Structure 1
Amino acid sequence: MQITRQPPVKITLQPSNHPYLSGPWTPVHEEVVVEELEVIKGEIPADIDGIYLRNTENPVHQPLGRHHPFDGDAMIHQVSISGGKASYRNRFVRTQCFVEEQLSGGAIWGGLMDPPSLSKRPGFGAHGSLKDTGSTDIIVHAGKALATFYQCGEAWQLDPLTLDNLGKAPWGPLDGVSAHPKVDEATGELMFFNYSKHAPYMHYGVVDRDGTLSHYVPIPLSGPRLPHDMAITKSWSILNDMPLFWDADLLKRGIHAARIHEGIPTRFALIPRRGQPEDIRWFEASPTYVLHWTNAWEEGEEVVLEGYYQDKPMPDPIEEAGEFSHMMAYVDEHSFQSRLHRWRFNLSTGECTEERLSDRIVEFGMINPNRLMKKSRYVWSTTTRPGWFLFNGYCRQDTLTGEEQLFELPDGVYASESPMVPRTPLPGEQIADLAEDDGYLVTFLIDENSGSSQLAILDAADVTKGPICLAKLPHKISSGVHSAWVGHGQLQADRAS
């Protein structure tokens, strides 16, 4: 394996036994390029043609206070697959904060669990004192990869092929961009939202294919909220106002403590894609918190939304975790109990109905991207190790029949969020000819038993077989949050338009 190494970055981080600075969350700091990965099991399917991008948390400086797993600096790992071969590269996202800490030679900002006064300079995002890391989400829009931060920072651009940093997106508004903007490939539009601690507390916007912010409107709320994701259909964008948000009394003292507020329902805002505040259709539903939606579509007079309903948004501390008891619970799916759920919004009656789709605790699901904004049947969710934010397997969920396929990784082996990649149609075939589950899951594995990582490919139609292909990565990567897939053909079309 021929490895080309980039110049090193400045590092002050010390070895630690912190649960999210060690083991599968041990940061990797080297940046490399490998032109061709060595396949160690099976073969890379010839009908995969595209790029897998994975955003991970890799702090480079010793924390000023208590470390939270979402405080780390963003590093994007990329695998480009074509013709039965795969290359690999990884790069830090050079956010403004990353660059300033490189220049200072140490941490400037405190983390999510620290008081605002710990930061040496004013911070960014809805929280107000955090470092804008761009370490949450990664998507591709108009030929560029965009790394975003869940607390609403800038949208940081990279070349998806080379991972060259391209600076912040020029269209980003003053209140930033939350993680999880959504892209309609047919129109080239990107829909996004942000949130803040000042009225109107939320905004919604549309960015055109050419990178122009063409629509930006307030979504008035009654106070600061903590939304995390949004969904889109062909006509509507779906935003939310949920009863898990910062305690108002503590917030006056500079303490950002999320609390479930009893007696307040979940509210959904359905706004036409380029609608105004007066066009919003509000729907009420049972109180919960939702991190991620899987899909939404229009069905007659109804708009259908699917995602992961939390049965216990304020989880009990994991006492055996000691000083980390609260932190460990808030990132543990088995503590907040997320399950696949469906909401239906009737545009004629204004009523919302709900349906539990599975009792299994899962999250971080993917659908066939060709079914985005269309009625879909399958969701490929991840399972997690109880007590931890670590993916230890997959569940292919059939929302029509309720059937579930399971694959559990060996002990000590953990996965990444894994896009469903439809196979490339054969000559004479059309995308519409392919079954919804005809394709692959593409992921990275972290093997603590061998201290290594691999590219893994699974058969999306039968995940019970486990990886049908494995290829060696040049180093063990750190765990993280979100990922994306873009086909080479789509990328070329985006750049040509």
Structure 2
Amino acid sequence: MLHIFDHGHSTVKFPNDNPYLNGPHKPIDLEYTAKGPELEVVGEIPKDLQGMYVRNGHNQIHEPIGRYHPFDGDSMLHAVWFNEGKVEYRNRFTMTTGLLAERAAGKSLWPGIIEPRKAVRRGWGSIGKMKDNAGTDVIVHGGKIIVAMSQCSEPYRLDTRTLETLGPDENWAQALGDRGICSHFKVDEHSGHMMFFNFAEEPPFMNYGVVDAENNLVHYVPIDLPGPRWPHDMGMTENYCVLHDLPLYFDHEGLKQGKHRLGFHRDVPSRFGVIPRFGTNEDVKWFEAEPCYMLHLSNTYEDGDEIVMDGCIIGNPIPDMSDLPKEGYERLNRMLDMHTTETRMHRWRFNMRTGETKEERLDDTITEFPMINGLHNGRDYRYSYNALPQPGSWLLDGLKKYDVKTGQTQTFMMPKGEFVSEAPFAPRLNSKSEDDGYVVTFVTNVNTGKGECVLFDAANIDKGPICRIIMPYHIPTGAHAFWAGPHMLYENGVSLAD
């Protein structure tokens, strides 16, 4: 069955010279549901895989105001449900307030992250001038999907089965005011708690909060920072969270004049604040480390007196641009090229007794978008499944599995013209070990013009895909993804695992 649900009525002009509106990034305006014979299967869909793989992404629907950045587009979710060897696929826009307004107007009403000065309307996010596109992160919590953008936005909820937008969370969105929630909220699958942060250009520059398993906001406190910052992720352990104060931020004097120019302050140490899960600003213990920036963590856990945090450190967040023309997209390409920004797997150890920080490089490979077995999130773990970026682009063309206990790795590179998405781990039913399951990802295939959902045996990703599910249409490259097993999915208030 192939059912066309709606069209977004795109007004993006083609041809254009923006690389992030073309090729594998080209947005789609079609929403549909597909299952049965409409989904060609190469290989066999595992019968011991049950749950939902969902990926968020920035899918621009209207001709942009100013230069388009790949973090500007409207949120579109793509999801595949697995059950007893059968699959069903849907994609839907997140109907944010901004998207609804632009649909009514038939054009873009807000600029993006590159040229916020062109804003004429009140906006959302930490800059306060962008549309709330909700296109960065996605998780499942309390039986519903939640999405948000990296600059902080309203916490939009969607139905886990239909992908229908339910609106900002009715329990606690209003309690956050215009601060909203930043991407990279963390779910503890054991307690059901969701930890989050937000940030802004006015004091308090950061807030930290906890939503319980029943979806009640049970903790929300301000965090003191020296000034406006630009954090992207946070760490979570069984008893603590780790907040980031990194030396990549907007010039303070420039902000007073409405200018948003990021600078990397190489003489300012990175700071990491370890806070008890229900702690306050007075409970934060700050640790200094080498100046850096980072986007994404693999995992954070407790090891005796130490908090261990693994993730992808960015050693050169503002690369040299002196050889590039000031116009065109070459500068943006270089800023987004992870080979230029030097993104690698790294480990920090924060000793809660001595206050000492220790750091070590885990690998020299350029890598990003790490994912782990969700049941080990915040706890001791062994495996991280990372994406490998293509040099010179914002595209991912391979996967690398890390055994952080032994240092062993496995790698698989996609054929030319095929690009993966963030690839979470999906356990088999009744799995027996941490990597007893599958790695699942969407593939953008520019050779065929059709998207794919691809499965790897998580224990042997270097052997390549064991199953490829071919979609009827193109799936653009995206942002973050999540695996929700039966224990996280609900129908009529009852978990599918019951």
Give the TM-score of the pair, scaled to structure 1: 0.95
The answer for the alignment partner of 1:23 in structure 2 is 23
Aligned to 1:492: 490
Q: For residues 75-224 of structure 1, what are the structure 2 equivalents within 5 Å?
A: 75-116=76-117, 118-170=118-170, 171-172=172-173, 173-174=176-177, 175-224=179-228
**Structure 1 residues 72 and 316, CA gap change in structure 2 (3 angstroms):** same
Query: Alignment length, in residue pairs?
Result: 488
User: How much does 1:494 deviate?
Assistant: 10
Match of 2:336 among 331, 336, 340: 331
Amino acid at match of 2:20: Y
CA distance in 2, matches of 1:77, 1:7: 14
Once the two structures are superposed, what CA deviation does each residue of 1:376-417 show, in whole Å capped at 9, x if it has no partner? 111111001111111101011121222221111011110111
Structure 2 unmatched ranges of 5 or more: none
Q: CA deviation at 1:372?
A: 1.4
Encode CA deviations 1:284-339: one digit per residue, 9 max, x unaligned: 11110010111111111111111111111112348499611221122221111111
Question: Quick one: which amino acid aligns to residue 104 of structure 1?
Answer: A
Contact 1:321 1:328 in 2 (8 A): no
Once residues 379 and 336 of structure 1 are traced to their aligned partners in structure 2, the CA distance between those partners, rounded to angstroms, is 21
Structure 2 contact 190–375 (Cα < 8 Å) conserved: no
Q: Aligned runs of 1:31-50 on 2, under 5 Å?
A: 31-36=31-36, 38-50=39-51
For 1:249 and 1:201, the matched residues in 2 are separated by 16
Q: Would the alpha carbon gap of residues 280 and 127 (structure 1) be closer, same or farther in structure 2, given more than 3 Å must change?
A: same
Q: Per-residue displacement from partner, 1:17-75 (whole Å, max 9, x unpaired)?
A: 31000000000110001133534311011111000101111111111111111110110
Question: Are 2:403 and 1:398 aligned?
Answer: yes
Superimposed CA distance per residue, residues 459-491 of structure 1 (whole angstroms, 9 cap, x where no aligned partner): 111111111101111210111110011012331
- Cα distance in 2, alignment partners of residues 232 and 489 from structure 1: 20
Whole-angstrom CA distance in 2 between matches of 1:387 and 1:370: 35
Residue 318 of structure 2: aligned partner: 314
1:131 to partner: Cα distance: 0.7
- Cα 1:110/1:282, change in 2 over 3 Å: same
Most deviating of 248-257 and 45-54: 248-257
Q: Aligned partners of 1:309, 1:441: CA distance in 2, in Å?
A: 23
Measure, in 2, the Cα distance between the counterparts of 1:493 and 1:64: 41
RMSD, aligned CA: 1.6
Letter matched to residue 388 of structure 1? S
Report the counterpart of residue 12 of structure 2 in structure 1.
13
CA distance in 2, matches of 1:304, 1:310: 18
1:295 aligns with 2:299: yes
Q: Does the Cα contact within 8 Å between 1:393 and 1:414 map onto a contact in 2?
A: yes
1-structure distance, mates of 2:490, 2:24: 35
Q: Of residues 433, 442, 445 in structure 2, which corresponds to 1:444?
A: 442
**Unmatched 5+ stretches in structure 1:** 426-430
- Partner amino acid for 2:13? Q
Residue identity over aligned pairs, in percent, reads: 42
The code of the aligned residue for 1:18 comes to N
Runs (4+) off by over 6 Å: none
TM-score (norm 2): 0.95
Question: In the TM superposition, what is the alpha-carbon distance from 1:435 to its structure 2 partner?
Answer: 2.2
For the residue of structure 2 that corresponds to 1:145, the secondary structure is strand
State the match for 1:4 in structure 2.
3
Task: Give 3-state SS (helix, strand or coil) of 1:480's partner.
Answer: coil
Instruction: Give the structure 1 partner of residue 241 of structure 2.
Output: 237
Distance 1:239 1:414, change over 3 A: same
Corresponding residue of 1:428: none
Listed as ranges, the matches of 1:259-298 within 5 Å are 259-298=263-302
Are the equivalent residues in 2 in contact too, given 1:74–1:93 (CA < 8 A)?
yes
